[in-house]
Amino acid sequence: MNNSNSYNLLKTKEIIAILDGDTKYGKYEFKDGTEIQIAMPYLSGPDLCGLSTLFGLPTTYSSGGVNLSRWQYLDNLMIYCIKENRFSDLLAYLFDKKQFSKMLSGHEVDEINEAYDHITKSIIQEINGILFFVGNELTIVGKQFIVKPIGSTITVEAPKIKTIDREYIKSISSRALDDVERKNYDSAITKSRTLLEETFCYVIELKGNIPSDSGDIAKLYKQVRDLYNMHIDTTTDRRIKTLLSGLNSIVSAIAEMRNKDSDAHGVGAKRINIDEHHARLFVNASMTMSDFILSVANKQI
Average pLDDT, integer, range 202-227: 83
Which helix (DSSP H) or strand (DSSP E) does residue 220 occupy? Answer: helix 217-227
Q: Are the CB atoms for 212 and 219 separated by under 8 Å?
A: yes
User: pLDDT tens digits, residue range 231-259?
Assistant: 766 677 777 778 777 878 888 877 776 55
Sequence-distant (6+) residues with CB within 8 A of 227 are 203, 204, 207, 209
- Output phi, psi for 137, to 5 deg: -150, 150
pTM: 0.57
Q: What is the pLDDT of residue 136?
A: 95
Domain ranges of the chain: 3-149, 166-300
DSSP assignment of 153-187: ---PPPPPPPP--HHHHHHHHHHHHHHHHTT-HHH
Bridge partner list, 27: 37
**In this model, does residue 26 exceed pLDDT 50?**
yes
Mark out the alpha helices in 25-67 (DSSP H runs). 45-54
pLDDT in tens, 74-131: 999 999 999 988 899 999 999 999 999 999 999 999 999 999 999 999 999 999 999 9
CATH number of 166-300: 1.20.120
Diameter over CA atoms, the chain: 68
Candidates 164, 296, 145, 128; CA nearest to 226 is: 296
Structure-model confidence comparison of residues 260 and 62, the more confident one: 62
Taking CA atoms, 191 is separated from 55, 91, 98, 168, in Å, by: 10, 21, 22, 12
Cβ–Cβ under 8 Å, residues 14 and 130: yes
Q: Choose the most confident range, by mean pLDDT, from 17-31, 44-58, 253-267.
A: 17-31
